Every structure is written in structure tokens, then in C-alpha cells.
Structure 1
Amino acid sequence: MGEKGEAACEKVGRCAEHGKKLVYFCRLEKLKVCSKCAITGSHRGHTVVPVEEALSELKEEAEMLQQQVQEDFAILRSFLDSEEKVLMEWIATEKQHILEELERLKAECLERAKHLSLLMDPFKAVLQSTNLSDVLKVLNISSDGSSHPCETANDPVVRFEAEKFCGPLQYKVWKRMLQIIQTVPEAYTFDHLTAHPHLEISTNRRSVIPRREALPVDYANGRFDTCLCVLGTEAISTGKHYWEVTVNKKAKWDLGVAYSSVPRHGDIFYRPSRGIWCLTLRDGYCYEACDEHDIQLEVQHSPGRIGIYVDYEGGVVLFFDAETMLMLHAFRTHFTDQLLPLYSPCTMEEAVPGDQRLTIFKLNV
């Protein structure tokens, strides 16, 4: 180990259990460990790499993230700049059209004024005459019913219709922006053929409701028979996906993703090693990420809707408070099979009033 490596060892400290330098990093539990922890201790069998390697990987990952953030915001800025340019050009075109129309009307008014002045000349002359026949002659000529070139129909009102450019401008732009956003809430559905008999799926297959009595359904091979779970219909085997589940004020639920081969009979265990990445709520306040060892989460605000994001190639499962878009937990892994959304509204809560269903949120645009 070089001088830099020795300096790094001095900075990382020593293991409280074995007194050895913490020169390794456990990827599973994301902790610095000593060689004895990795070989014979509590981290035996875990993926362990030198701290320097972990730091190098972290630096590379941070740089890639920075680049991705810059690219994503560049796309949004480009879209907004384009929308602004189109709107401003449209306003300028309308403005020019109105100005040209006003100039045309101005020219017509001047021409009419000129003709009216010519019509007034005979009246001016006859007013100075005392000959009644001259007066009647002029009056007969002016009232013979013949049209004059300066007489036209009433012109339409010319105005700038600002309302065409007003209204909920930001909302209209946001709806168009959805076309360039890669991940927006997808309207997933529940696979009723996988639902436990005590779970009722709504007609539109976007809500699941726990029932006290079992429904008269066939116990097919694909149906959960012990755990009150149901899978999603849409499989994930590539790309980035995001969906939201409305949980309202339920005191307990389970949400996540699982390999499509997840066991349907008997108890199942929410563990990444079992092909399940899950977040749970118990007692209305105890949020846990079901890693190889459960991780209790500090959630200040109880969200009424949970967002789930999956980057299949990136090996990422993220959970969000969909109301504030604050991340609740992140799983990192490497997927080897297709995924299906996994849901459980848990059992009917007798003492809890109100709606106890889970509902897939559908973005109406």
C-alpha cells in the first residue's frame, strides 16, 4: 500500500470490536469494516472492497449524477426557451397584424374625410345664395339615393385579443412539457388473478380493498394464498418507470417491487435476497425499508401518496413522499429477472374509520 493508502488508513479510524484499521467497505451494509470483520466477523460473506476503491466508485457515481442532472435540466431549459420563443413570435405576429389593420383603417378614414370635404363645398356655396332654386337643386343632388365612393359599411372592431395568450399559461406549458419528460406517473393496474382471496380489486383494476370475508375466487397457482398481497399487471424488464399509490391515512401497508417468480404460496419475506424490494408502514408511524436487515426510517410527514421509481438498468428502486417528492429510501442492486409491482393493504383494520383501499394514482392531463 502506497503513501496515499497509508494516509487514508489513518483517516478512516479503527474497528471498535477488533481494533484493526477500517480499510474495507461493506457494500451490503454500507459500512467501513476491518479485515477481521470481513473474513470471520459479522460481515463475512458480504461483498467487501477496499475503502479506496469504494471512494473511487463513489466519486465516479457522483460525477455521472452531476452530468445527468445537467443534461436533464438542459432539456427542460431548452424546452422552456423554445416555448417562450414561439409564444413571443406569435404575440409579435398578432401585434404586427393589428398595427397594419389600424394603418389601413387610418388611411381609409383620411380618404373619407377628403371626400366629405368635397361634399361640403357645394353646401358652403349655396348657403351664401339667396336663390331658393339653387338650394333645392343642391339638396336634391345630395339626397338622390346614389352611393358615394366614400360610403362603406361599418368596419369591424379591431383589437388585440390578449386572452388568447393568457389563461393558465404555466399549466398549458406544463402539459406540453409532459411530452419530453421521460418518467411521469404511469397508470398501472392490479392483476386480479394474483390477489389474495381477502383482497377485492375494483372494476377499473386501480384499487385494492381488504375484506373480512374471503371472496369466491379460484385458488389458482398464481394467487397469493397466505400473504395479503397482489401484483401489478405491467412487468418491468427495461427502462425507467415511476408510479404513485394513494395510501390516504391507512395505518399499515406494504409497497414495492418483486421478481415475477416471487412465491405465491405460504409466507414470503421482504428481502432483496428473496427478490423483493419493499417499504412498509405499521401503526401509522413506523416506516421500514425491508433490506437484509430492516431499516427504520425517520418520516416527519405521513404522506398520503407514495411514489415508486425503478431504473432497471441502473439497479435502483426509490421510494418518495409523492406530495413533497422527498426521497424516503433507496435500494441499489442488480436485477436479473423481470419485476412486477407488489402491493398489500394488509388486513382490514376494525378500529380504523374511513377508506382502507390502496389506489394507483392516475395523472389526468
Structure 2
Amino acid sequence: MEETVDGPSAEAGRCLEHGKRLLYFCKVEKLRVCSKCVIVGSHRGHPVASVEEALSELKELLSACAKELESKSLEHSLRLEEINRNVITTKEEVEALQRQVGDDFAALRSVLDAEEKALMEQITTEGQGTLEELSRLKMECLQRLEDLRTLAEPLHTALQTDNLSEVLKVLNISSDGTCFSCGPVNEPIVRFKGEKFHGPLQYKVWKKMFQVIQTVAEPFTFDPLTAHPHLQVSINHRSVTPRHEALPVGYADCRFDTCLCVLGSEPLSSGKHYWEVNVRNKSKWDLGVANISIPRHGDLIYKPNRGIWCLMLRDGCHYEACDDSDIELEIQRKPGRIGIYVDYEGGEILFLDAETMQTLYVFRASFTEQLLPLYSPCIEEKGTPGDQQLTIFKLNL
């Protein structure tokens, strides 16, 4: 670099103060200087270098800066590409989800519309039939009233006369039953039987909607052969309770011997599955899904790279998703029942508050082997045995 000055000396590359050529470069003030400036002048004691050396060093610095800028540019270019890919992926995912939601609601609306139409037609048919029968009975009754009025006229006339012959004549006619020829009214009056359309209509329709709902709470069970000796599985295999004392069970390759865990009985290798677990007022539990090949002996590490996707509760209020790095979840409402949803082909595991259907956490993965539900009620706590249990919810239809 060279000091910017006016005048012929500067243009000739000479020092304005000493008139000598500017052959050196002051590294402190970043200026070209002459030899006298370096020896006795204002730049005495400053580190200097020849202009050629300084130019080489400065170019190296510029080259490093250029490489750094190039590296940062490449980094931002790659970031921009990723952003653009995510834009496209997001649009595609949004459109796919909108189509799925539209199809799902259309299927539900189709059931509702069909049920409503069929019920309306039944009510209309039943009501119309009743009204037609009542109309027939009404016309019949009106005709009988007219006939009775016709028969009653001579009687009223005879009651107004003093002619014995006329009275006897009318009385003879009446005594032979002519005036009662219309007969008694024995035919029952029909009524609209609307009670057969009463009852829990919405519930009845809701049950019919399960014909089109593809994913509902499945009645999964615990596999007692995998249960740790301090876990007791109920007779129906839908509840598990921690025990202070070990059960008299034998060693088995499939049984956990260190972690207080039990696996589900139903392997998942395709499709979409959903089940719910009652956690009640428990202050600690572990719930998740695991590869069928996870070790049963020794400690378990709840990590996706170890084939386990898990949500856990500690101290009654601390919820944690055991992802690649543990993630503490902010959950305001304490769920009494946890829903677990697995989309095998879609590579998703969702944990939900089953009472509000709010999503608590989502794992994304690519599954390569069968999966099994994983449960741990953790160690026995104070309280009644019922409060210690984990129970798989069964939807009764």
C-alpha cells in the first residue's frame, strides 16, 4: 500500500519528507516508506518489510480472506439449496396432508350423510304411512258421523210430534237395529311410533363410523415372558404392576433382567397402528417402541440409534423425549392416558395426550425390522396397587 498524497514526488514513488524512494512497507501504519523514515524518521522501530515481501504477505492474507469468503459462500449456497428443498418438501407435505385430511373427513361425512339420509327416509316413510292410515280412519269416522246424523233426524222429528202413529213407526224402525247399522268403533287408532328412532342417535352413528375409520385404539397386550421379575402382568395381559418382591419366574433369553420393562405381544412390521396406555396418577413411567432385537439383559439406552423411541415421565411433572439428545417437553396438562401412533412405512412415531389428542412429541425414523411396544411402570411407589399400574386401554364398541 502507498500513502495517498498530491504532488510529483508521490507520483514518482518518493517520500515527501526525505525525497527517497518508497521501498519499504510499515506493518504498523500500513504505509510505504523510505529507508530514512525507517532509520531516523517517524517509522523508526516499527516492523517493516520490503514492498515485494509485503505485497506477497498481503496477497496471502487476501487469498485466505477470499478462500474464507468462498467457503462461507458455499456454505450459504448449500443452505439456500436446503431451504429451497425444504420449501418444495413443505409444499408437497402440506398438499399431501390436505388431501389426506380431506379424504378422511369426506369418508366420515359420507357415513354421516348416508346415515342421515337413510334415517330421514325411514322417518318420512313411517310418518307418511301413519298419516295415510289416520286419514283413512278419519274419513271413515266422518262417514259414520254423517250416517248417524242421518239416522238421528227421524228420532228428533218424532220427539217433536204428538202423533202416536209416527212415533210408533220411528220406534219400530229403531228397534230392528237399523239406526245402529254402522256398528261399534272397535278398530284401534294408529299412532306414529317415533320411539324406535329415539335413543343415543349420535352414539349409534359413531359406532357405525368405525366401519370407515382405519386407525383406532387397538387392544394390545403385554407379553409376560418378557416382563422383568419385579413386574406382574395381569391375567388378561392388559395391566402391569411393579412389585417389591420378585416373582418366581425362570431365566429366559427374552426376559429383561436389569431394566424394569416389559414388551408388547404384537409385533409391528407394516401399516399404521395406535394404542393407548392409562398412566393414571403415576409420577414416573417410560413408554415407547423398540426394535424387536433390543437386548433384554443389562441396561437399556433409550435412544433412536439404539433402536428405542421413548417418552418418559419423572417426578410427576418432568416429561422427556429420549431423542438423539434428550428433549424436555413443556406439557401444561398432565395426561391420564398416553396415545402412541406408529406409521411404519411413513417412518413416524407420535406420542399424544389421548384425552385431548394433542401431539406431545414426534419421532421420525426409517424402520428396518419389526417393532414392539415397550413399557416400564418404573419401581414401586407409595400408594394403592391400582395407582402403580400401567393399563392398555381397550375400546369397547
If the TM-score is normalised by the length of the shorter chain, which range does it land in? 0.7 to 0.9
| Structure with a larger share of its residues in helix | 2
- Give me the whole-angstrom Cα distance separating, in 1, the residues matched to 2:248 and 2:108: 51
Contact 1:111 1:150 (8 Å CA) reproduced: no
Specify whether residues 147 and 263 from structure 1 end up closer, same or farther in structure 2 by C-alpha distance, changes over 3 A only: farther
Look up the match of 2:325. 293
Look up the match of 1:104. 136
Q: CA deviation at 1:245?
A: 0.4
Look up the match of 2:212. 180
Q: CA deviation at 1:19?
A: 10
Q: CA deviation at 1:328?
A: 0.2
- Give me the whole-angstrom Cα distance separating, in 2, the residues matched to 1:80 and 1:306: 29
Specify whether residues 112 and 334 from structure 1 end up closer, same or farther in structure 2 by C-alpha distance, changes over 3 A only: same
Contact 1:23 1:51 (8 Å CA) reproduced: no
Q: TM-score, normalised by structure 2?
A: 0.76
Contact 2:222 2:264 (8 Å CA) reproduced: yes
- Give me the whole-angstrom Cα distance separating, in 2, the residues matched to 1:146 and 1:189: 81
Deviation string, structure 1 residues 214-247 (Cα, Å, up to 9, x no partner): 0111222211111111111111111111111000
SS of the residue corresponding to residue 74 of structure 1 reads helix
Look up the match of 2:20. none
1:67 aligns with one of 99, 110, 119? 99
Alignment partner of 1:324 is 2:368: no
Look up the match of 1:237. 269
Specify whether residues 146 and 262 from structure 1 end up closer, same or farther in structure 2 by C-alpha distance, changes over 3 A only: farther
Is the deviation greater in 63-72 or in 245-254? 63-72
Q: What CA RMSD, in Å, does the superposition of the two structures yield over aligned residues?
A: 2.6
SS of the residue corresponding to residue 339 of structure 2 reads strand
Is the deviation greater in 91-100 or in 145-154? 145-154
One-letter identity of the residue aligned with 2:357: M
Q: TM-score, normalised by structure 1?
A: 0.82
Look up the match of 1:162. 194
- Give me the whole-angstrom Cα distance separating, in 2, the residues matched to 1:286 and 1:333: 24
Look up the match of 2:343. 311
Specify whether residues 147 and 218 from structure 1 end up closer, same or farther in structure 2 by C-alpha distance, changes over 3 A only: farther
Alignment partner of 1:263 is 2:260: no
Percent of paired sites with the same residue: 63
One-letter identity of the residue aligned with 2:199: G
Contact 2:269 2:344 (8 Å CA) reproduced: yes
- Give me the whole-angstrom Cα distance separating, in 2, the residues matched to 1:149 and 1:176: 55
The structure with more radius of gyration: 2
Contact 1:190 1:233 (8 Å CA) reproduced: yes
2:365 aligns with one of 311, 326, 333? 333
Contact 1:190 1:230 (8 Å CA) reproduced: yes
Look up the match of 1:44. none
- Give me the whole-angstrom Cα distance separating, in 2, the residues matched to 1:134 and 1:60: 101
- Give me the whole-angstrom Cα distance separating, in 2, the residues matched to 1:150 and 1:129: 27
- Give me the whole-angstrom Cα distance separating, in 2, the residues matched to 1:220 and 1:143: 103
- Give me the whole-angstrom Cα distance separating, in 2, the residues matched to 1:220 and 1:353: 27
Alignment partner of 1:196 is 2:221: no
Q: CA deviation at 1:166?
A: 3.4
Deviation string, structure 1 residues 114-156 (Cα, Å, up to 9, x no partner): 2212321331343244355764564465355689552244343
Look up the match of 2:112. 80
Give the count of matched residue pairs: 327
SS of the residue corresponding to residue 338 of structure 2 reads strand
Look up the match of 1:29. none
Deviation string, structure 1 residues 78-122 (Cα, Å, up to 9, x no partner): 222222211221221122112211210111012101221232133
Look up the match of 2:61. none
List runs of 5+ in structure 1 lacking aligned partners: 1-17, 26-31, 33-48
SS of the residue corresponding to residue 359 of structure 2 reads strand
- Give me the whole-angstrom Cα distance separating, in 1, the residues matched to 2:362 and 2:295: 24
Contact 1:196 1:230 (8 Å CA) reproduced: yes
SS of the residue corresponding to residue 262 of structure 1 reads coil
Alignment partner of 1:53 is 2:85: yes
